[in-house]
Amino acid sequence: MGTTGPCVALSERYAIEGADGIDVYEQHGGYVGLRKALEMQPSEIIDVVKEAGVRGRGGAGFPTGMKWSFVAQDTGKPVYIVCNADEGEPGTFKDRELMERDPHQLVEGMVVGGLALNSVQGYIYLRGEFAHAGRQLTRAIREAYAKGYLGADILGSGKRFDLTVHRGAGAYICGEETALLDSLEGRRGQPRLRPPFPATHGLYGCPTTVNNVESISSVPFILRHGVDWYRQWGTEKSPGPKLMCISGELQRPGNYEFALGTPVSEMIDACGGMLEGRALKFFCPGGSSTPLLPASKADVAYTYEDIMEAGSMLGTGALMIYSDQTCVVDTVLRFTEFYEHESCGKCTPCREGGYWLSQVLRRIETGNGRMEDLDLLQDICDNILGRSFCALGDGMTSSITSGLEYFRDEFEAHIREARCPLGTTEPRRDIAVLDTHGGGGYAPETGAAEIPAMPGRSTAATTGATDKTVAGQA
């Protein structure tokens, strides 16, 4: 097992002034990995990536070298390498900083990946809102062409590779690789039915690999420093460094770099600890689509295997921290509303289920829930999980099912007290409630009792909507 704790690897040039320009980048080891790749056979590059144990950093954690080896060769069709720089997962902001501070790192990784896959064309699918990252990448690509690192004859080797930045339109679903490919082709971004897989039928029906920014950017470092350098950090099954987006109720939230295997509690301490007067209540290990975990599991080692054993996923490396002053129900509601909005609408479980989950959670949070709603939430989640067209549906359910597992008493308190016990949300009486005894369906609350005043607020402020129910509004 390698070392754990804070480390400096992919972020080594972040603090160097001018490192986003090619001259300074070259002075600090830039394009050394590419020069070594030009001396290697494509299969040798893939073998090095496999030996290093690089795993996908965009959420799935699939071994990068193995994924590259699956890409079909000698089909008579061109091979494409595509970088997923959409980074739409709530709580994730590591790729954006990498592209802004050290864009040549990604450009070099794309060229090396192209050599490994016998590809002559690569695309960086960039989230449309990342305006500055787009400018940085465009400038870096222009500089790389001028210096001979891109084009028809890379450094006089006779090998060709061209690179294009394609800006998306901010759709979360385009973080799913096949939806991304549809968007890149100019169609509406929706996931494709698999098989066939992109490795054989990807962009324009040709063999394609889609990898995350951090995954691709790791490869030049490995070729430059060697496999042992990369594996000095982390564990046997989860080796290497990891860029971490740590957000929430902390003294110093932000982007950090840790060796995989570092306990979550140590990462929190490295951020200065919790805000004054607050204690850890729960955390999302890999972004809002991963199941939340209670504070009792904060000592779990941050590896793909340990986080999964604890009941969640490492995801994108977006560690979201919440304190005892945060309402679980409200947090889960906000997550669910996001996924409801971002559903592409292609499949029924996700399209319809997201709407109903939001309505039920909103009723509970605003003091209109029934105990039956908790079983209803679980039932809806069971009918979405594993039944939607892509993983968006699964991610939508994860915070709900884990919230019910670890904080069911807080959900029940919302229902018993007919309001949010922490006072996060004002109680309302214009929200339709589940009618479990009148033949099913939903009906507005009628003749509602006076709502208890929230801390620091008058009762009158919360009862004004009592007689203004909206029939049939779920």
Domain contains 468: no
The answer to whether position 251 is within a domain reads yes
The pLDDT of residue 449: 44
For residues 17 and 98, membership in a common domain is answered with: yes
What is the reported pTM?
0.90
Q: Compute the distance between CA of residue 41 and CA of residue 88 in angstroms, rounded to an integer.
A: 35
Q: What is the pLDDT of residues 104-158, one digit of tens each?
A: 999 999 999 999 999 999 999 999 999 999 999 999 999 999 999 999 999 999 9
Better-scored residue on pLDDT, 269 or 437: 269
> Which tens digit of pLDDT belongs to each residue from 332-364?
999 999 999 999 999 999 999 999 999 999 999
Query: What percentage of the chain has pLDDT greater than the value 90?
Result: 88
Q: Do 139 and 76 sit in the same domain of this protein?
A: yes
The CATH number given to whatever domain includes residue 353 is 1.20.1440.230
Task: List the structure tokens of 282.
Answer: 């729960």
Q: pLDDT band at residue 60, thresholds of 50, 70 and 90?
A: confident
Q: How does residue 70 score in pLDDT terms, banded at 50, 70 and 90?
A: very high
Domain boundary among 201, 231, 261: 231
Could you read off the pLDDT of 287-336 as tens digits, one per residue? 999 999 999 999 999 999 999 999 999 999 999 999 999 999 999 999 99
What is the model's pLDDT at position 103?
A: 98
Residues 319, 266, single domain; the answer is yes
User: According to the 3-state scheme, what is the secondary structure of 262-315?
Assistant: CEHHHHHHHCCCECCCCCEEEEECCCCCCCCEEHHHCCCECCHHHHHHHCCCCE
The pLDDT score that the predictor gives to residue 433 is: 57
What pLDDT is recorded for position 441?
A: 52
Same domain, 175 and 284: no
Please report, for residues 12, 122, 146, 161, 316, the alpha-carbon distance to residue 107 in angstroms, rounded to integers and kept in the order given. Answer: 16, 10, 13, 11, 21
What's the CA gap between 268 and 265, in Å, rounded?
5
pLDDT band at 448 (very low <50, low <70, confident <90, very high): very low
The residues near 336 (Cβ < 8 Å, ≥ 6 apart) are: 354, 357, 358, 361, 396, 399, 400
Q: Take residue 58 and report the two structure tokens written for it.
A: 């965009």
From 231, 250, 280, give the residue that closes a domain: 231
Residues 401, 369 share a domain = yes
pLDDT in tens, 197-238: 999 999 999 999 999 999 999 999 999 999 999 999 999 999
Please report, as a single letter, which amino acid is at residue 296.
S
CATH number at residue 284: 3.10.20.600
Q: Please count the other Cβ atoms lying within 10 Å of the Cβ belonging to residue 305.
A: 16
Q: State which of 298, 326, 354 marks the end of a domain.
A: 326
Work out the pLDDT band at 458, boundaries 50, 70, 90: very low
Residues 352, 281 share a domain: no
Whether 72 and 96 map to the same domain: the answer is: yes
> Which residues constitute the domain of residue 294?
241-326
Question: Which amino acid is residue 284, in one-letter code?
Answer: C
Domain count, the chain: 3
Whether residues 271 and 285 fall in one domain: yes
Task: Determine, yes or no, domain membership for 473.
Answer: no
Q: Residue 464 carries which DSSP code? A: T
C-alpha to C-alpha distance for 82 and 109, rounded to whole angstroms? 11
Specify whether 313 is located in the same domain as 362.
Answer: no
Confidence band of 61 (pLDDT split at 50, 70, 90): confident
